[in-house]
C-alpha cells in the first residue's frame, strides 16, 4: 500500500503521516511506501522502515500532478490548500492552488490510467464546512444547499463536485471530508478570524492570557486534530458501495457555545486558567463568525462510522495528550 499525502507539512498532514508511519497501516492494509509533498519540506515521520519520499514542490501544477500520479499511489490524501483568509486576499492564488490543484490531480490520475493501464486510486479530499453559507437552519442536514460565502468555500465546493463526477465516471474512488472547526490548534495565536476558538483554551493552559473577541453565546462545531486524522483514515477505508454517489460528507463534531468551552476549561484546568481569558469584544470578528455554520446533523457520516469527541472536555484532554506530553504545564 503506497500512500501519498499532499499538504503533508500542514498541521493535519503531519499528524496523518505520523500516524500512518507509526501504525504501518492504512485502510486496513500494510504500508509499503509513503510519499509526502508540500511547498515546504514535510518532517520525516518515525516508526516506518520502508521508503519515505519527501518532496518539496508546488503539487498544484499540472506537471507535478502528472509526476505524482505516475507514482501510482494506492491512496492519496489531498490536503494541500490555501486557507480561507489567504484565498480571500489573493484571488488568483486561491483558485490556482485550491481549484486548479484539485483538477490537475484528478486529470493526472485519469491520464495516467489512459496512458499506462488502469489506475483508480482512492482519493481522500479535505473539504470544509465553508462550502455552506448563511443563512442557516438550526442544524445543517446532509441535504442542505451549497452556497459558500468565501472564495475558499467556493473552491472547496467545486473540488467536491469534481471529485464526485470523476468518481461517478470511475476515474477515482473519491471521498470528501468536510471538516468542522479543528481545535485545539497547537502553536502561537494567529490572525485567523476563528483563532480564538483554540486560543481561549491553549493559552490559559500555558498560563498565558487569551483574548476573546466574541460573546459567550457563539455556537460552533469542533473536533480535535486527532479526530480530523481519524476522519481521513476512516474515509480511506470506506468502499464505493458504502459511500454511494454522494461521496462528500459533513463530519460530526462537538457543538458547543464559547461559554461551554470555557466551562470545560474550568473543569480541567480550574478557575486560574479561566481567569486568563480576557473579553475583548471585536464587532468585526463577531460579524465574520456569524456567517459560519454552527451545528451539523451529520447523520450520514455517523451512520458510516465517523466519530468525533463526545464533549469539549475530551477535546481538551486530547490536546493535553497529543500536544502537551500528557500533562498540564504547571
Give the residues lining the site for a second copy (CB under 8 A). 91, 133, 137, 142-149, 151, 154, 157-158, 161-162, 164-165, 168-169, 245-246
* Smallest distance, a second copy to C-beta of residue 137, A: 8
What is the Cα–Cα distance from 315 to 60, expressed in whole angstroms? 33
User: Looking at 95, 119, 152, 166, which residue is catalytic?
Assistant: 152
* CA nearest neighbour of 75 among 26, 117, 108: 26
| Closer by beta carbon to a second copy, 17 or else 298 | 298
Pick between residue 55 and residue 156 the one whose CB is nearest to a second copy. Answer: 156
Question: What CA–CA distances, in Å, run from 309 to 40, 256, 306?
Answer: 31, 12, 11
Q: How far is CA 324 from the centre of its chain?
A: 21
Burial class for 83, CB neighbours closer than 10 Å (0-12, 13-18, 19+) = middle
User: Which one, 162 or 201, has the nearer CB to a second copy?
Assistant: 162
Closest approach of Cβ 133 to a second copy, in Å?
Answer: 7
DSSP for residue 123: E
Rounded distance between C-alpha atoms, residue 235 and residue 233, angstroms: 5
Query: Which candidate, 47, 82, 221, 63, places its Cα nearest to that of 154?
Result: 82
Nearer to a second copy, 69 or 162 (CB): 162
Joined grid coordinates for residue 269: 484546568
Q: CA-based angle 73:124:142, to the nearest 5? A: 160
Smallest distance from the beta carbon of 320 to a second copy, in angstroms? 38
Q: Annotated catalytic, 152?
A: yes
* Residue 96 C-beta: closest distance to a second copy, Å: 12
Smallest CA-to-CA distance from 189 within 176, 198, 180 is with: 198
Quote the CA–CA distance of 248 and 168 in Å, as a whole number.
12
Q: How many CA atoms lie within 13 A of 220 on its CB side?
A: 29
**Considering beta carbons, is residue 133 or 253 the nearer one to a second copy?**
133
Q: Which of 145, 267 has the CB closer to a second copy?
A: 145
CB nearer a second copy, residue 169 or residue 188: 169
Backbone torsions φ then ψ of 55, nearest 5 degrees: -120, 135
In the complex, minimum distance from the CB of residue 220 to a second copy, in angstroms, rounded to a whole number: 21
Those residues with Cβ within 8 angstroms of residue 52's Cβ, 6 or more apart along the chain or in another chain: 21, 33, 34, 35, 36, 44, 45
Record the cell numbers describing residue 173, joined without a space.
474512488
Nearest to 188 by CA among 7, 329, 323: 323
| Least distance from a second copy to the Cβ atom of residue 119, Å | 16
Nearest approach, Cβ of 182 to a second copy (angstroms)?
24
Catalytic center residues? 152
Amino acid at each position: 500500500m503506497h500512500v501519498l499525502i499532499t499538504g503533508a507539512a500542514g498541521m493535519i498532514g503531519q499528524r496523518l503521516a505520523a500516524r500512518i508511519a507509526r501504525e504501518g497501516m492504512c485502510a486496513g492494509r500494510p504500508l509499503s511506501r509513503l510519499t509526502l509533498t508540500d511547498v515546504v519540506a514535510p518532517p520525516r515521520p518515525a516508526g516506518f522502515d520502508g521508503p519515505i519520499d519527501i518532496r518539496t514542490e508546488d503539487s498544484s501544477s499540472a506537471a507535478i500532478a502528472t509526476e505524482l500520479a505516475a507514482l501510482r499511489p494506492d491512496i492519496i490524501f489531498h490536503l494541500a490548500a490555501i486557507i480561507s483568509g489567504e484565498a480571500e486576499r489573493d484571488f488568483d492564488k486561491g483558485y490556482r492552488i485550491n481549484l486548479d490543484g484539485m483538477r490537475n490531480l484528478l486529470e493526472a490520475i485519469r491520464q495516467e490510467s489512459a496512458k499506462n493501464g488502469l489506475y483508480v486510486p482512492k482519493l481522500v479530499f479535505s473539504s470544509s464546512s465553508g462550502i455552506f453559507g448563511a443563512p442557516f437552519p438550526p442544524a445543517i442536514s446532509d441535504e442542505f444547499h451549497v452556497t459558500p460565502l468565501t472564495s475558499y468555500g467556493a473552491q472547496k465546493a467545486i473540488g467536491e463536485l469534481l471529485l464526485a463526477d470523476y468518481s461517478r465516471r470511475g476515474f477515482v474512488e473519491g471521498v470528501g471530508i468536510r471538516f468542522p472547526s479543528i481545535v485545539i490548534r497547537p502553536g502561537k495565536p494567529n490572525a485567523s478570524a476563528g483563532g480564538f476558538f483554540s486560543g481561549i483554551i491553549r493559552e490559559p493552559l500555558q498560563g498565558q492570557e487569551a483574548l476573546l473577541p466574541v460573546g459567550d453565546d457563539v455556537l460552533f462545531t469542533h473536533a480535535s486534530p486527532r479526530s480530523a486524522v481519524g476522519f481521513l483514515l476512516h474515509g480511506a477505508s470506506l468502499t464505493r458501495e458504502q459511500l454511494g454517489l454522494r461521496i462528500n460528507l459533513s463530519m460530526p463534531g462537538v457543538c458547543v457555545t464559547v461559554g461551554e468551552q470555557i466551562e470545560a476549561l474550568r473543569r480541567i484546568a480550574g478557575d486560574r486558567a479561566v481567569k486568563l481569558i480576557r473579553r475583548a469584544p471585536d464587532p468585526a470578528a463577531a460579524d465574520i463568525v456569524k456567517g459560519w455554520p454552527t451545528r451539523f446533523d451529520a447523520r450520514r457520516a455517523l451512520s458510516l462510522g465517523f466519530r468525533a469527541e463526545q464533549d469539549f472536555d475530551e477535546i481538551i484532554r486530547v490536546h493535553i495528550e497529543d500536544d502537551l506530553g500528557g500533562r498540564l504545564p504547571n
